[in-house]
Amino acid sequence: MSRNIITITLAAAAIFVSGCNGDHGSPVGSEGWLTGDVNEKFETVADHIGGFGKAMWEVDYRFQELWWAGQDGNWEYAAHQIEELEETLELGLERRPARAASAQQFMTKTIPDVGEAIEARDTEMFDRRINLMLNTCNSCHALEDMQFLTVKPPLQRKSSIR
């Protein structure tokens, strides 16, 4: 029995050591996935980072966390989430500037309005303004011909932060 355990342990160690040899795990080595000249490598990295869809993934998560932070009256967490949400959207728009016009209301009015409610620590104001934010998410989706992306109030928490 203990002999079997030793054999298995040695086999696992051998696999681990052989896995550490050569270029495995390095993106730029001879067997790496970043090939071609510098421009081609940047294009590959850009493809992996993604365009607006990946930004939206994060925006959606942060919007939901922001929503619950407001319900909890956790204003510092709400302030953190709205800041991150804004930055994520800014970076997404930097990658896809053609979307910027549709996001103008969201960036210049909606975010500051919710920010004001957070700063005032005013639950009633926050509830009103986060609902307006939700509508502005949907207006932008409509402007971008994506009416099927209907944002609604979250039903379940995504993270373990309370």
| Residues at the site binding ligand HEC, with contacts judged by CB under 6 A | 51-53, 56-57, 59-60, 63, 99, 102-103, 106, 133, 137, 140-141, 144, 146, 149, 151
Q: Radius of gyration of the chain from Cα atoms?
A: 23
Cβ 132 to ligand HEC shortest distance, Å: 11
Q: Please give the single-letter amino acid code of residue 84.
A: E
Cβ 61 to ligand HEC shortest distance, Å: 9
Residue 37 vs 47, nearer CB to ligand HEC: 47
Cβ 91 to ligand HEC shortest distance, Å: 13
Cβ 89 to ligand HEC shortest distance, Å: 7
Residue 11 vs 49, nearer CB to ligand HEC: 49
Residue 41 vs 102, nearer CB to ligand HEC: 102
Taking the CA of residue 131 as centre, how many other CA atoms within 13 Å lie in the half-sphere pointing to its CB? 6
Q: Please give the single-letter amino acid code of residue 14.
A: A
Residues 6+ apart with CB under 8 A from 57: none
Q: Which of 87, 85, 86 is nearest to 62 (CA)?
A: 85
